[in-house]
């Protein structure tokens, strides 16, 4: 049994976890899970069956962990999580918000565009290859190999959606932004350096 004295000064515990900001769910979730494993409390992300004599102790530790986890959420997103008072509820809400297929596909499309056609080259080759590897990992996680024809059709549908979303993002950058921005901001001029053909 783990001693809860680890959390007597939990507020002073420095978590080197980038705050959840709506674009980094996968990294955030991985870091939170790893931190909880290191503390020996990863089971607080689920609803395990407990003996009656352990319920009060678990609730006390869970409340402390919940405060720590909520501290890793960007202030602009806190309203989505303020009503949740357990680790598992915060975890489920974040997963629900940021792991739906459309959200993930849109994020992957944006990542793909920054890899394939960056506006400027920043960083080293190692950083570029790291981004490429991360994209490939996300792609394979979202569209894993299938074993049935029905699953294959589902995967094709998701892939088609990703291609369309990528096209829409690129279309906005190339066509609509230069056309609509002067209408919204009359004194602003856009220059498009990319040929339309």
Pick the range with the lowest mean pLDDT from 102-106, 123-127, 164-168, 184-188: 184-188
Q: Looking at residue 174, what is its pLDDT?
A: 62
pLDDT band at 70 (very low <50, low <70, confident <90, very high): very high
**40 φψ region: left (φ > 0), alpha (ψ -120 to 50), beta (else):** left
Q: Looking at residue 179, what is its pLDDT?
A: 55
Rounded Cα gap, residues 66 and 91, in angstroms: 9
Tokens of 182: 């002067």
Q: Looking at residue 1, what is its pLDDT?
A: 42
Find where tokens 């294959």 sit: 152
Pick the range with the lowest mean pLDDT from 73-82, 142-151, 185-194: 185-194
Find where tokens 């690129």 sit: 170
* Average confidence (pLDDT) over 16-28: 85
Instruction: With residue 171 as reference, give the H or E element that holds it.
Output: helix 149-171
Q: Looking at residue 182, what is its pLDDT?
A: 54
Q: Higher-confidence residue: 150 or 190?
A: 150
Q: Higher-confidence residue: 19 or 163?
A: 19
Full-model pTM: 0.54
Q: pLDDT tens for residues 98-116?
A: 877 767 777 777 777 777 7
Q: Are the CB atoms for 102 and 125 separated by under 8 Å? A: no
* Average confidence (pLDDT) over 34-48: 84
Pick the range with the lowest mean pLDDT from 6-10, 39-43, 57-61, 124-128: 6-10
Q: pLDDT tens for residues 44-58?
A: 888 777 778 888 888
What torsion do the CA atoms of 103, 108, 113, 116 make, to the nearest 10 degrees? Answer: -170
DSSP-assigned letter for residue 73: B
Q: pLDDT tens for residues 183-193?
A: 544 444 444 44
* Average confidence (pLDDT) over 135-148: 79
């Amino acid at each position: 049994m783990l001693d809860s004295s680890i959390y007597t000064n939990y507020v002073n515990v420095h978590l080197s976890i980038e705050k959840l900001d709506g674009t980094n769910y996968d990294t955030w979730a991985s870091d939170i899970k790893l931190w909880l494993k290191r503390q020996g409390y990863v089971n607080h992300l689920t609803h395990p069956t407990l003996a009656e004599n352990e319920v009060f102790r678990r609730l006390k530790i869970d409340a402390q962990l919940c405060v720590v986890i909520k501290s890793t959420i960007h202030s602009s997103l806190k309203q989505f999580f303020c009503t949740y008072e357990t680790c598992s509820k915060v975890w489920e809400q974040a997963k629900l918000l940021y792991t739906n297929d459309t959200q993930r596909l849109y994020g992957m499309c944006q990542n793909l565009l920054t890899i394939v056609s960056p506006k400027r080259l920043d960083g080293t080759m190692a950083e570029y290859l790291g981004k490429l590897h991360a994209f490939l990992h996300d792609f394979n996680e979202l569209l894993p190999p299938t074993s049935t024809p029905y699953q294959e059709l589902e995967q094709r549908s998701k892939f088609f959606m990703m291609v369309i979303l990528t096209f829409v993002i690129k279309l906005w950058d190339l066509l609509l932004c230069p056309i609509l921005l002067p209408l919204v901001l009359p004194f602003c001029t856009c220059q498009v350096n990319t040929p339309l053909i």
